[in-house]
Structure 1
Amino acid sequence: MFERFAVEARNTVVRSVEVAGRRGDRRLGTEHLLLAALADDGIASALGVDAATAETAADAADREALAQIGVDVAAYGPLVHAVGTPRPRLTAGGKVVMKRTLEYAVVERSRRIELSHLVLALLERPAPDPAAALLSRLGVDATRARSALQRG
């Protein structure tokens, strides 16, 4: 399936692996795909949020979740990542997004899987999916974003 990805979509998936590694996550989830997709100006415009704002919101959500179980992130200093860690596997939600991405391309009779197909699949994730939670935290109007993406 990866060979059908348009360059922007392929680069986003590759970037999502980097995002997961940078965030210290062992699995590649929908939040990593979303954060990577927002590096594209067209996607950021359609969703009404930029990558830096989304990264900040994701970091804040992580800190809040850890604080709820009594972990003060500030007490630990910067996170150090192991070099040469294996490529993360997709979460169940990530697998569903990839499947839906392909389905969007098929419905449109597109020969390529475009970045917009990936983002449309992310926009339909239900709570408590991490991408859905991040989109909600950012105040993204999924209906408006979907419409902007489908207009091109």
Structure 2
Amino acid sequence: MKLILTSAFEEAARRGDRRVGTDHLLLGLLHDNSRAANALGVSLPQARAASDALDVAALAAVGIRADTLDENNPPVPVSRRLPLTSGARAVFKRAIDEARPLSTGPINATHFLVALLTTQRPDPAAELLAALDVDPDTVRARLSEPDEGETG
């Protein structure tokens, strides 16, 4: 969980954003080499490229031309913790709610992913998932499959 949050803050800083949103949480999840991250079926570079394309399209919609964004920007050091958007706070609450009835201990990447999959457009994570052609039902099915090392 700590890696996801730290990575989300780094993603927001890399993009020059002032707050950490659900899209940053999704990108942060992809830094983790967990079963949940793998269930998405996309890589971090693919997700960053899709996020950049969404930003370019949004800027174009208001008349600002930005052909590409520099996707090789290193994380920008931030002197303070960036605040979370209300959507990101809601994802945290849903992740906690997801973990509670299962009594599986601390919130893990799977709880976080399930919470992100519940976002609806125009939420940034939902927009990014749609841009990546990620089907939430397919991801949930992958998460419910037994691990390869498990026996029946």
Same fold per superposition (TM over 0.5)? yes
Deviations 1:74-104 (A, max 9, x none): 5998989975443211111001000001011
More helix by share: 1
| Alignment RMSD | 2.4
CA change 1:131–1:82 in 2 (3 A) is closer
Deviation, 1:72, is 1.6
Q: Which residue of 1 aligns with 2:36?
A: 43
1:95 pairs with 2:89 = yes
CA 1:13–1:84: 2 relative to 1, 3 Å: closer
**Counterpart secondary structure, 2:100:** helix
Output one character per residue of 1:57-82: Cα deviation in whole Å (capped at 9) or x when no partner: 00011011101111122599898997
Cα pair 1:24 1:81 within 8 Å, conserved? no
Q: Secondary structure at the match of 1:55?
A: helix
1:140 aligned partner: 134
The counterpart of 2:14, out of the listed 10, 22, 25, is 22
Count of matched residue positions in the alignment of Structure 1 and Structure 2: 144
Segments of structure 2 that go 5 or more residues without pairing to the other structure are 148-152
1:6 counterpart residue number: none
Alpha-carbon distance in 2 for matches of 1:76, 1:133: 18
Aligned equivalent of 1:128:
122
1:5-60 deviations in Å (ceiling 9; x for gaps) = xxxx1110111000000011001100000011112233342011111000000001
Which whole-Å deviations, capped at 9, do the CAs of 1:84-141 have from their partners, x for residues lacking one?
4432111110010000010111021111111110011000001110000000110001
Partner SS state of residue 73, structure 1 = coil
- Distance of 2:17 and 2:57 partners within structure 1: 17
Contact 1:120–1:149 (Cα < 8 Å) also in 2: no
1-side partners of 2:74 and 2:4: how far apart?
24
Q: Which amino acid aligns with 2:32?
A: D
Q: What residue ranges of structure 1 are gaps of 5+ in the alignment? A: 1-8
